[in-house]
Amino acid sequence: MRIGPDSPNWDEQEKVLDDASANVKKQAYYMRRELEEGNLQVALRHAGKMCAELRTHKLSPQNYYDLYITVTEELRYLESMVRDLQKKSWDHARDDLNLYEVVQYCPTIVPRLYLLMTISSCYIDNKISDCLSVIDDLLELSKGVQHPTRGLFLRCYLLEMARNKLPDLGTENYRGPDDLKKTIDFIIKNFTEVNRLWVRMQNQGPNRDRARREKERANLRMLVGKSMSRLGELDGLTIDIYETNVFPQLLNLIIECNDVIAQEYLMDCIISVCAFCLSCFIV
């Protein structure tokens, strides 16, 4: 968290969160109303205002997490509505191809990327866009958010959006080993950035608050571990691929991060993933 002259004291955190949550619910109400009437572009404007609350630097990571959950629950509703509209007729789907362009007119990068990821999920599910090309674009665009807290949660949303869409052995969109390699590369690249942003949280504020920040970071470690868990869930991940490609990259990341909290947790994650993979390989 960045502490500055305009940042509230810790006693004021609850008020900041309540105000932000109230605005999210207000914009979500208007978004849902417009969606029910079929006004997608107007609904997206309200969704953008809703996501704009995630631009804040005035919340602790834990309170930011609570706000993030509120926003992403509404984004899942938006996603389901857009997906259903696209499925009803090809004419709707063709018209909605413009939605990807529409959300790019959102004036600030954080809400713009959340909307892009949400709309992209619909396109992938309805086979309007290729998964790997879209995911690659979103991964590159996410580099534009470098604030540790905002960037960490944004990349967690990207991973969640892509979770059941990435090509893997046995999936409908799997076309060969190259697709699996691209899937693994995406997960590792996103994981590398998530970990880097997580480590940077320790430097966001005065030294007197370092102990508190480290405690908050520890509470958010599950967000970092999700990427590692996703690797272990890949059906196409073999012992050979893990040994020659995955493990060396993860080990190098742990060494280079130079952070005790991160190194201890990441080693635990690697051990857990190794145990899970080995149990699958043995079976």
Mean pLDDT of the chain: 85
Considering the segment(s) 1-129 as one domain, its CATH architecture is Up-down Bundle (1.20)
Average pLDDT over residues 12-29: 95
Across 91-100, 145-154, 197-206, 229-238, least confident range = 91-100
Say if residues 82 and 122 touch (Cβ distance below 8 Å).
Answer: yes
Measured between alpha carbons, how far is 97 from 81 in angstroms, rounded to an integer? 15
Is 215's pLDDT higher than 90?
no
Average pLDDT over residues 175-183: 91
DSSP label at residue 2: -
Is 32's pLDDT higher than 50?
yes
Is 64's pLDDT higher than 60?
yes
Name, in order, each residue with C-beta under 8 angstroms of 165's C-beta and a sequence gap of 6 or more.
121, 124, 125, 131, 135, 173
Measured between alpha carbons, how far is 275 from 259 in angstroms, rounded to an integer? 24
Across 4-8, 52-56, 76-80, 94-98, least confident range = 4-8
Give the pLDDT of residue 279.
Answer: 57
Average pLDDT over residues 39-56: 94
> Both tokens of residue 28?
């979500």
> Both tokens of residue 175?
């076309």
Q: Which residues of 179-189 are buried (b: 16+ CB within 10 A; e: fewer)?
A: bbebbbebbbb
Q: What percent of the chain has pLDDT over 70?
A: 86
> Both tokens of residue 48?
């953008």
Residue with more model confidence, 161 or 279: 161
Radius of gyration of the CA atoms of the chain, in A: 20
Give strand ranges (E) for the chain: none
Is 92's pLDDT higher than 60?
no
Is 3's pLDDT higher than 50?
no
Q: 10 Å Cβ neighbour count for 48?
A: 22
Q: Name the residue among 191, 147, 162, 121 with its Cα closest to residue 54.
A: 147
At residue 105 the predicted structure's pLDDT band, cuts being 50, 70 and 90, is: confident
Q: Name the residue among 117, 115, 118, 110 with its Cα closest to residue 146.
A: 110
| Domain segments of the chain as ranges | 1-129, 170-283
Residue tagged 């090509």 (tokens): 167
At residue 90 the predicted structure's pLDDT band, cuts being 50, 70 and 90, is: very low
Across 33-42, 101-110, 155-164, 216-225, least confident range = 216-225
Give the pLDDT of residue 233.
Answer: 85
Measured between alpha carbons, how far is 226 from 162 in angstroms, rounded to an integer? 12
At residue 25 the predicted structure's pLDDT band, cuts being 50, 70 and 90, is: very high
Measured between alpha carbons, how far is 139 from 226 in angstroms, rounded to an integer? 16
pLDDT digits (tens, 9 = 90+) for 133-154: 999 999 999 999 999 999 999 9
Residue tagged 């086979």 (tokens): 127
Average pLDDT over residues 9-35: 92
Average pLDDT over residues 226-234: 83
> Both tokens of residue 6?
């305009």
For the chain, the distance separating the N- and C-terminal CA atoms, rounded to the nearest angstrom, is: 45
Question: Averaging pLDDT over each range in 199-208, 222-231, 243-252, 273-282, which range is the top one?
Answer: 243-252
DSSP label at residue 204: S
Measured between alpha carbons, how far is 79 from 31 in angstroms, rounded to an integer? 12
Measured between alpha carbons, how far is 38 from 216 in angstroms, rounded to an integer? 42
Name, in order, each residue with C-beta under 8 angstroms of 47's C-beta and a sequence gap of 6 or more.
27, 31, 74, 75, 78, 111, 115, 118
